[in-house]
Amino acid sequence: MPEVLEAPLVVEFPFTRSLGPVQSAFLTGLRERVVLGVRTGDGRILVPPVEYDPVTAEEIRDLVEVAPTGTVTTWAWNHAPRRGQPLDTPFAWALVRLDGADTALLHALDAPGPDAVRTGMRVRVRWAGERTGAVTDIACFEPYDGDPAQPSGHTGDFENPVTGIVAPARLDYTYSPGRAQTDYLHALSDRRMVGERCPSCRKVYVPPRGACPTCGVATSEQVDVGPRGTVTTFCIVNIKARNLDIEVPYVYAHIALDGADLALHGRIGGIPYDQVRMGLRVEPVWTEGARHPDHYRPTGEPDADYETYKELL
């Protein structure tokens, strides 16, 4: 059996965040080297601030400046920093209760090694050189043995407040299509289309999934299907899809390959888009180096009778 295929899948997007009044003040404050907390109904100061009181659920907007100095309440050593983390040398992830706050803020603590970090140690903010109104305006915390800094009593009103941020996110996966799809893809490289038959309902799936979705049993019996098939239904696409180098308009069709019990999807070419019809008989057109058929074109056979494919709609 050939080796099961595997490939990287990177999922990446720059999400935007509307901040609302409290996060807006907090991040704008960091830009101005001011750390703000919020006062709750029972008089505690939460840093980072939240919009709603965790005890009473009331809206809270009373912003209070706290000091850029504080105490480590707990920590974990990060031996191998990864892309996008605050420091590129090993550091501690630390919860820091800033002087004047009742809760702790998570950030990086720059220290030479785990032996130099302990719960209860005193630290201060190391500000980033360029600040934009983001949590990374705090470059990290660093050890500090001076007196607590005195906040200036800022209440969170700033010129040009930050109201939104962009938060890029990225996930790295290793994707495997599994045994059945791998077999299908290997057959494609010989320009054969191979489905699998369910041992229970006898339906032929192409591409195969390795299991029948209705019977819930594994499939293994391979069946050659096509290469010819019937257009069961379609639409004419008039808007250009992202990352697709296809001129519009084009026809996107459901194609029931001969011998398959489920239509697959493909583009129709070799015929003007406005002459494509349900029941059109088509065959795949392969291009050198491509894994899948580039498109399907008319075979010239008479159209299939509606009765022969209506159950596949």
Partner 1 sequence: MSKEPVAVVGIGQTRHVAARRDVSIAGLVREAAQRALEDAELTWADVDAVVIGKAPDFFEGVMMPELYLADALGAVGKPMLRVHTAGSVGGSTALVAANLVAARVHGTVLTLAFEKQSESNAMWGLSLPIPFQQPLLAGAGGFFAPHVRAYMRRSGAPDTVGSLVAYKDRRNALRNPYAHLHEHDITLEKVQASPMLWDPIRYSETCPSSDGACAMVLTDRAGAARAPRPVAWMHGGAMRSEPTLFAGKDCVSPQAGKDCAADVYRQAGIADPRREIDAVEMYVPFSWYEPMWLENLGFADEGEGWKLTESGVTELDGDLPVDMSGGVLSTNPIGASGMIRFAEAALQVRGLAGEHQVEGARRVLGHAYGGGSQFFSMWLVGSEPPAS
Cβ–Cβ < 8 Å for 253, 234: yes
Contacts of 175 (CB under 8 A, 6+ apart): 6, 7, 8, 9
Does the footprint of partner 1 cover residue 51 (CB under 8 A)? yes
Closest CB to partner 1 among residues 16, 89 = 16
Residue listed under structure tokens 């291009």: 287
Closest CB to partner 1 among residues 16, 152 = 16
Q: How many residues of this chain bind partner 1 (CB under 8 A)?
A: 67
Q: Whole-number minimum distance, CB 48 to partner 1, in Å?
A: 12
Q: Which stretch binds partner 1 (CB under 8 A): 9-17, 61-69, 146-154, 222-230?
A: 9-17
Does the footprint of partner 1 cover residue 167 (CB under 8 A)? yes
Closest CB to partner 1 among residues 91, 234 = 234
Q: Which strands, in side-by-side order, build the sheet including 35-39? A: 45-46, 35-39, 63-66
Q: Whole-number minimum distance, CB 288 to partner 1, in Å?
A: 17
Does the footprint of partner 1 cover residue 53 (CB under 8 A)? yes
Cβ–Cβ < 8 Å for 46, 34: no
Residue 39 phi, psi dihedral angles, 5° rounding: -90, 130
Q: Which stretch binds partner 1 (CB under 8 A): 28-36, 110-118, 120-128, 263-271?
A: 263-271
Angle at 137 between CA 133 and CA 140, to 5 degrees: 155
Q: Which of 32, 30, 34 has the alpha carbon at shortest distance from 153?
A: 34
β-bridge mates for residue 122, sequence order: 71
Give residues in contact with partner 1 (CB under 8 A): 5, 7-9, 11, 13, 15-21, 23, 50-57, 59, 163-164, 167, 169, 175, 177, 181, 185, 201, 203-205, 213-214, 232-239, 241-244, 246, 249-250, 252-254, 261-262, 265-267, 278, 291-292, 306, 310-311, 313
